[in-house]
A and B are shown apart, each in its own frame.
Chain A
Amino acid sequence: KAGVTQTPRYLIKTRGQQVTLSCSPISGHRSVSWYQQTPGQGLQFLFEYFSETQRNKGNFPGRFSGRQFSNSRSEMNVSTLELGDSALYLCASSWEGGRTDEQYFGPGTRLTVT
C-alpha cells in the first residue's frame, strides 16, 4: 500500500502571499490531520478532516484553512503569509480519526517565507 504523499515538498514564498499544500492519504483512510512542526513550538495540531468536513481545529488563526475532497485528499491553505509561518507542514492519515486510530505521516512540505 502506498504511504501518505504530500506535494510540493519544498516551497519558498514571500510575506503576504498565499500558499496551498496538498496531501493524499493512504488508500482507504478517510481522516486527514494537519500539523505544523517548528523547532520552537514542536508539533502542533492544525485541523482534522473527515468525510469532507472539518471535525477538529487547533489554535491557529483564520489565515490557516483547509478542505477535503470526496476521494479523501486534502489541501491546506495559508493566506497572507508571515515570516513565522516558515515550518514543516505535515499531514497524517488514519482510518476514521477515531481516538485510538493509528496516524501515519506524510513526508511534509517545507515552507520558507521570506
Chain B
Amino acid sequence: GENVEQHPSTLSVQEGDSAVIKCTYSDSASNYFPWYKQELGKRPQLIIDIRSNVGEKKDQRIAVTLNKTAKHFSLHITETQPEDSAVYFCAAVGNDYKLSFGAGTTVTVRA
C-alpha cells in the first residue's frame, strides 16, 4: 500500500514568514494529494488538494506543488498568521483507493 512520509514534525515560524511542509509517497500510481488542517479539538479540514495532472495549485496564501518524478509534494503557506497555527496532514490516494496520511506537522506561528 501507499506510504506517506512528512517533514518536519514541528515547525515554528515568525508571523509574516513562510512555512513549508514536505511529503514523499511510495506508490507511483497515486494521483490525488490532499492537505488537511486540524486545529486542536477539531476535525481535519481539507484546505487544498492537487491532482497528478498539474504541478502547482494556489489558493490565496497557500500553495501546493507536486513532483511526480521524485514522488514528493509540498505545502507552502505565505505571510503566516496566528490562525495558521495547527497540525497539517498531507495525504495520498494510491492504487488501493485508500487515503494514506503523513504523520502530521505541528505549525506554531509566533506573534
Interface positions of B (Cβ within 8 A of A):
31-32, 34, 36, 42-46, 49, 51, 89, 93, 96-104
User: DSSP class of B's interface residues: helix, strand, loop or mixed?
Assistant: strand
* Residue in A43, A56, A105 whose beta carbon sits within 8 Å of that of B97 in the complex: A56
Q: Could you tell me which A residues sit within 8 Å of B by CB distance?
A: 4, 33, 42-45, 48, 55-56, 58, 90, 92, 97-100, 102-108
Give the nearest-CB partner of B42 in chain A.
A107
Q: Is the CB of B100 within 8 A of A102?
A: no
Please measure, in the bound complex, the distance between the C-alpha atom of A50 and the C-alpha atom of B104, giving whole angstroms: 28
**Taking CB as reference atom, which chain A residue is nearest B45?**
A105
Q: How far is the CA of A100 from the CA of B104 in the complex (A)?
A: 21
Check B43–A105 contact: CB distance below 8 A: yes
- Known A42-B103, A42-B104, A43-B89: A103·B97 in contact at CB below 8 Å: no
